[in-house]
Structure 1
Amino acid sequence: MKMALDPTPFHRTHSLLQFPQLAAELGYPYLQLTPHPDFLPFFTHPKADDALAAALKKACAEAEVGIASILPVLRWSSPDENLRQAAVRYWRRAVQLAVDLGVSQMNTEFGGRPEHPEESEAAFYRSMEELVPLFEREGIQVAIDPHPDDFVEEGLAAWRVIRGVNSPNLGFVYVAAHAFHLVDSPDRILREVGDRLQMVHVADTMDHRASNGLRYITNPPGNPVRVHQHLKIGDGDVDWQQLFAALARNGFLDRTDTVMVSSVFGENENALEVARYQLATMTDLVNGTR
């Protein structure tokens, strides 16, 4: 298993080419590249040219830090056909960047809308018809996260959509910070997903369902909002012993191609300390289950 830093908390303080050295200084052997204005921005065409990709690869080599995964967030399941087609084009360039960087793991979201679930699912499968041959040809694994406010949010429902593509190049991302939106227990999800569990994002969150659904109040009542956090381990309600025990039973912790990412976004003022804490705590949790 590879342990990676998500550098999102450092986007405003460090440049893209500084991320590899930053990860090394924090003790992480790998990076996960998330949406960044100089590389793969949210929803739009990748902004890195071949020269920038080459410079990033060189910076990684000099820091002795690998890129474990690349995370585009694009509207490839949009009910708007123009946006869907654009997202497919953007995905093609994102895959080329991954290949040039020597990265075989990508991860993403479903990229549709919960108010249009049938149209979004249909758009998703149309995009898969166009992109899966590319993933398979280039040897790219793509793991998908059922994100809150997407057309599929629950764990087992998301796995069924992924499984329906019928490609070994598609897998599942378990995001601990989404645990209470996934509905299904970690044990059940990870048992069903099996070795198609490719990535885990580690961040804590509060259970929005607690206190009879009144832990978080939005006005007017009934707003179609989704609430979650990306906090450091121990600051929320995730049962970490249960999750890591499920990961051990799944075999995730012992496979060489899996990726565990620290993805804390809610504590930028303490980002350096939190990143170190996350790595130490993830390591302790892994060792405690073996």
Structure 2
Amino acid sequence: MKIALDPTPFHHDYELLEFPRLAAELGYQYLQLTPHRDFIPFFNHPRADDDLVAQFRKACEDAHVGIASVLPVLRWSGPDEDAREAAVRNWKRVIQITVDLGVNVINTEFSGRPERAEESECAFFRSMEELVPIFEREGIDVRIDPHPDDFVEDGLEALRIIRGVNSPNIGMVYVACHSFHMRGHEGATMGDLIRKAATVLRLVHVADTMDHHRSHGLRYITNPPGNPVRVHQHLKIGDGDVDWDDFFSALADIDFYDRPETVMVSSVFAEDENAHEVSRYQLATMTDYINKHRK
């Protein structure tokens, strides 16, 4: 298993090419390359040319930091066909950048729209028809997160859709701070979802959040009542309601720590003013939990 830093909290204070050195200084051997305005922005075509890709790869080599995964967020499941076709074009450039970086893991989100779930699922599989052969040809392992406000948010249903793609190159991401959105109408617990996913689950994000179902749904209050919002946070371990012993013990049950293809990412976005301290805390705390539960 690789343990990686998500450098998103540092996007406003550091240049892109400084991220590898920063990750090393914080104690990480790997980073996750998340959406960045100078490289692969949210929803749009990548901004990086071949020269910048080569510069970033060299910066990683110079810092002795690997890239555990590349994370694009594109509208490949959007029910608007023009936007979906554009997303597929953008995906093809993302794949080429990933290959040129020497990386074989992409993690992403289902996207689409929950209020148009059936149309979005159709769009997703239309995109899969075109992209899966490229993923398989290039040896890219794509891992997908049922993000709050995607066309599928239920963890078990997300697992079913991933299996329905019927490709060994498509796996699942479990984001701990999305847990309270993922349990769905079947009421699956975090441990249930992790164990059911088994080897399909190949990447996890570690961040805490409050359980918005608690206090009879009044843990968070939005106005006017009934807003169709999805609320979650990306806090450091211990600042929310996630049961971390359940999380780390379930990962141990599926041999997550001992599989060479798996990735664990520190994914805290809520405390940018303390990002250095929080990143070191996350690494130390994740390591302690792993050592506690490793079989």
TM-score over 0.5 for the pair = yes
SS at match of 2:78: coil
Describe how 1:266-285 pairs up with structure 2 within 5 A: 266-285=270-289
- Report percent identity of matched pairs: 70
1:102 maps to what in 2? 102
Aligned equivalents of 2:23 and 2:11: distance in 1? 13
Task: Verify the 8 A CA contact 2:177 2:206 in the aligned structure 1.
Answer: yes
1:133 maps to what in 2? 133
Aligned equivalents of 2:149 and 2:69: distance in 1? 23
SS at match of 1:201: strand
1:228 maps to what in 2? 232
Q: TM-score, normalised by structure 1?
A: 0.99
Describe how 1:1-290 pairs up with structure 2 within 5 A: 1-183=1-183, 184-290=188-294
Matched residue type, 1:68: A
Aligned equivalents of 2:190 and 2:232: distance in 1? 17
Q: TM-score, normalised by structure 2?
A: 0.98
Task: Verify the 8 A CA contact 2:32 2:265 in the aligned structure 1.
Answer: yes
Aligned equivalents of 1:14 and 1:226: distance in 2? 30
Aligned equivalents of 1:73 and 1:222: distance in 2? 27
Aligned equivalents of 1:272 and 1:106: distance in 2? 25
Aligned equivalents of 1:238 and 1:271: distance in 2? 20
Matched residue type, 2:48: A
Alpha-carbon offset, residue 187 of structure 1? 2.1
Unaligned runs of 5+ in 2: none
Aligned equivalents of 2:182 and 2:115: distance in 1? 17
CA RMSD, Structure 1 to Structure 2 (Å) = 0.5
Aligned equivalents of 2:111 and 2:90: distance in 1? 13
Matched residue type, 1:190: I
Aligned equivalents of 2:50 and 2:33: distance in 1? 16
Matched residue type, 1:262: S
SS at match of 2:112: coil
Matched residue type, 2:173: V
Aligned equivalents of 1:141 and 1:282: distance in 2? 24
Q: Deviations over 1:49-75 (max 9, x none)?
A: 000000000000000000000000000
Aligned equivalents of 1:82 and 1:162: distance in 2? 24
Alpha-carbon offset, residue 185 of structure 1? 1.3
Q: Deviations over 1:214-248 (max 9, x none)?
A: 01111111100000000000000000001100000
Aligned equivalents of 2:97 and 2:189: distance in 1? 35
Matched residue type, 2:253: R
Alpha-carbon offset, residue 186 of structure 1? 2.1
Alpha-carbon offset, residue 117 of structure 1? 0.3
Aligned residues: 290
